[in-house]
Every structure is written in C-alpha cells, then in structure tokens.
Amino acid sequence: CSTQWSPMQEDTDYFQPSESTFMMIFRVENLVELLGALKEEGVTIVGEIEEYDYGKFGWILDPDGNKLELWEPIDKAFL
C-alpha cells in the first residue's frame, strides 16, 4: 500500500465538476468493465477514459458530488 500527495495549482479545473479542492485516486483492475458496471448502477461517469504510458484513467462522482479518479496501471512498476 502506498500514499501519494500530488499538489495541484490553486486555479486548476482538474477536480471539476466537483467543488472539492482534492480528489482520491483508486487503483483498479479492468477499468472499462468497472466503469460499465458503475454506470449500470447509476453512478455518474465524468468524461472519457484517458490512456497514457503508465495506465488508463476514468472518473466518477460519489453520492456527495466529489470526483474520484480510477487508475488501471499498465506498467508493472506501478502494480
């Protein structure tokens, strides 16, 4: 288990549409499948999946409107 602290610029819009000033990130497996299942359960999906050299990312809103990031690592160094 690890914790990472990644400060953002004060004027960032990265957390939108949430009004929160922070975001929790969860490592997941099978991001596409997970987002599909969450959508079927009525969870709000934010944006489209983005893929980088180090993984795939997706975003959802929790019941309180906080944006959560879901990360499926690609590089074994992150597993």
Which domains are assigned to the chain? 1-79 (3.10.180.10)
pLDDT value at residue 77: 62
Q: Cα separation of 15 and 1, whole Å? A: 24
| Edge-to-edge strand ranges of the sheet holding 67-73 | 24-27, 67-73, 55-61, 44-52
Does position 56 have pLDDT exceeding 80, yes or no? yes
pLDDT for position 50: 97
CA atoms within 13 A on the CB side of 64: 5
76 or 61, which is more confident:
61
- 32, 49 Cβ separation under 8 angstroms: yes
DSSP letter assigned to residue 43 = P
Structure tokens that stand for 13 in this block: 């819009």
Instruction: Give the tens place of pLDDT for each residue, 1-55.
Output: 556 677 788 888 888 888 888 888 999 999 999 999 999 999 999 999 999 998 9
- Tell me which residue has tokens 């050299």: 53
